[in-house]
Amino acid sequence: MTTADPARSSTSLQDNSLADSIVILDFGSQYSQLIARRVRELNVYSELLPFSISASELKRLNPKGIILSGGPNSVYDKGAPKCDPEIWRLGLPVFGVCYGMQLMAQELGGVVEAGTVREFGRSILTVIHHGLLFKGLEPSLDSWMSHGDSVVGLPSGFRTVACTMSTPSAAIADEERGFYGVQFHPEVVHTKNGQDIIRNFVTDVCGCKQNWTVSKFLETAIAEVRKQVGDKRVLLALSGGVDSSTLAFLLHKAIGDQLTCMFIDQGFMRKNEPEWLVDKFTNDFNIHVHYIDARDRFIGKLAGVIDPEEKRKVIGNEFIRVFEAESKKLGPFDFLAQGTLYPDVIESSGSTVDPKTGERVAVKIKSHHNVGGLPKDLQFKLVEPFAKLFKDEVRRVALDLGVPDGIRQRHPFPGPGLAIRVLGEVTPERLKMLRDADWIVREEVKSHGLYKQIWQAFAVLLPTKSVGVMGDKRTYENQVVIRAVTSEDGMTADWARLPYDLLDAISRRIVNEVQGVNRVVYDVTSKPPATIEWE
């Protein structure tokens, strides 16, 4: 996992200097982002930084405490990631999670060894000493374990404060120095009272005030945009999704007509969405959108293309060409606005720094389209107000900005759109078939009052056919898959347990109303092992 570069992150921490903050050092855990989210849910600002950040840099950032994430390595492996040893002498509380606990134990003189019994999944945790970390919690808790190594020798000053049947030291503490470690993952929902454990560390051990809110962020973001942009023009590639739409509202509030929105219709949007988007923004929101009809160009480029990665590449390349040509017609522009979110910053490296100005310069568009980069000679200074926010936080910003529920609560939609939900070759006929089926799925989910409870619900058109009987005649037609999942952030997801009457209504309507489909199936696979999208 790639974390945000410390130079960029340090600026963000300084911008939030009026609020107490917690730093999470990332050692590669799949749950690292989740720890940051959990801390923010306590109204305490948090940020994920590389494990290699120096103690001097951390001291300059002035956090109230440090959390060490889990990770896939063993601390005794050659080249295992380690933090700056001076961190232990900063006088800050430190909370090690899984690998973070093992690293803390080893670095401070303890012993870590490969366990004879590994623990993966739910395990009963027995609290031996509550102290500040387990304050107010029951003596027995469900915990979520994922480890093969164990701390078998404690460093000087530490004591065991919790155990499981297989792990004698499942939680350790040096309360005098404010050092705590847990072998389990308190950040996941499977750990009972896990958020309470994090709260105890953040508020009681670190003494953080719970005074960071998205509303305060919004005030600061508008002022920063005005300061950064001045009287210059800003171009926003609008997709109609939550992120870019909310950004359009924020920028319009901050700089008014200095904002230019461009919507490129590549022909892969959901039913009626392009028309609805342009009408809504222009007539209801008074935000003018330049509509670019590029449907034929994109669909033509996909003729004969079957491989999903090749589809993304083709769409990305064509998007670049259209974007370049249209931006030159509408320009010139000094700034490009992107709805980049914090997970995008963490997981991708999509920018360079202008050596003259020190500002980020765009070399790819990722957030809105997930389809590749802008050419290096088409350079803008970036405006990215959401670069330190998670998806749920952007939705709260949208609420404060007055973004209508129809946009604010929209399900995520992939950049390549329906092109990667039509498995196999993309043709106008197959797109129409999927578009009609997808409309029925979303319409029925909404009519059953479940749209807000589901992360994503959509249809997928398979590249295979099956035999059926319709009107006493044999048919050999297409199959549609229904995919519905629940999730907090899309990083992991569980298949949604939709009511049978809803599934029945969807199936009957698709078979009866979508010409060319005679079979509907439901995907009951979670992420992992599957992904949410099929391509």
Q: Which residues are catalytic?
A: 98, 185, 187
- The string over 94-103, giving b where at least 16 C-beta atoms fall within 10 Å of a residue's C-beta and e elsewhere, is bbbbbbbbbb
Task: DSSP letter for 427, please.
Answer: -
* Cα 134 to Cα 31, 96, 185, distances in angstroms: 21, 15, 14
Q: Cα(179)–Cα(174) distance, rounded to whole angstroms?
A: 5
Would you call the peptide bond into 343 cis, given omega within 30 degrees of 0 as the criterion? no
Q: What values do phi and psi take at 121, rounded to 5?
A: 105, -160
Q: Compute, in degrees rounded to 10, the torsion defined by CA atoms 242, 243, 245, 247.
A: 150
Residue 495's CB is within 10 A of a number of other CB atoms, namely: 17
What are 302's two structure tokens? 């996909």
Q: Compute, in degrees rounded to 10, the torsion defined by CA atoms 126, 131, 136, 139.
A: 10
Q: Cα(484)–Cα(411) distance, rounded to whole angstroms?
A: 11
Beta-bridge partner residues of 260: 235
Place of tokens 């494990």: 51
3-class DSSP string for 45-70: EEEEEECCCCHHHHHHHCCCEEEECC
Give the CB-side neighbour count of residue 298, counting CA atoms within 13 A.
Answer: 28
Cα 71 from chain centre: 19
Among residues 156, 158, 160, which one has the least CA distance to residue 168? 160
Q: Cα(171)–Cα(133) distance, rounded to whole angstroms?
A: 10
Cα 174 from chain centre: 34
| Sequence letter at residue 436 | D
- The string over 168-184, giving b where at least 16 C-beta atoms fall within 10 Å of a residue's C-beta and e elsewhere, is ebbbbbbbebbbbbbbb
Cα 50 from chain centre: 18
| Sequence letter at residue 519 | R
Task: DSSP letter for 304, please.
Answer: T
Residues 6+ apart with CB under 8 A from 192: 141, 142, 143
Q: Cα(398)–Cα(388) distance, rounded to whole angstroms?
A: 15
